[in-house]
Amino acid sequence: MMLKTIKTLGIFMLVLFTAISFSSCSSEEDVTKDDAFAGIYKGSVSYNDTEKNISTTEGSIFITKVVSGTKYNFAFSNDIPPLNGIDVEKTGENTIVMVGSNTTAYIRVENNHVRILYTKDGKNWTADCKR
């Protein structure tokens, strides 16, 4: 009797584990809801305003997802001010783009590549970085 109970419990646990494994591997996951784009990207970064003019080919950007799930923060190296709370949307399988992108405000993170051209209040940020 005890052996039958242990065997039944073992089979139940195996079925439960298998069900959980399959349900967590959805191919239709929304990448804006996970941390797929978070991390450090290295490459060219620049910034200028009336007081600063910074440009380097050996800079970096640290991207973090804000709790809301659709906003990201972009922290730059080299004393470049961050871009925080940028609203993004998924536009492809592995791509997020800033909501409201236009010729003066454009942020795109695609696979392992981030491109930024962002102008606001006389301040300009650019980046072309990869992981």
- Look at residue 24 in the predicted model and tell me its pLDDT: 45
Q: State the average pLDDT for the chain.
A: 81
> 125, 88, 83, 85: which is closest to 104 by C-alpha?
125
CA–CA gap between residue 14 and residue 36 (Å, rounded): 29
Query: For 41-63, how does the pLDDT look when each residue is reduced to its tens digit (9 = 90+)?
Result: 999 999 999 999 999 999 999 99
pLDDT digits (tens, 9 = 90+) for 84-124: 999 998 887 788 898 887 777 899 998 899 999 999 999 99
Tell whether pTM > 0.85.
no
Task: Quickly count: other Cβ atoms within 10 Å of residue 44's Cβ.
Answer: 13
> Residue ranges per domain, the chain?
35-130
SS3 93: coil
- Which pLDDT does position 19 carry in this prediction? 47
Express as a percent the part of the chain with pLDDT over 90: 47
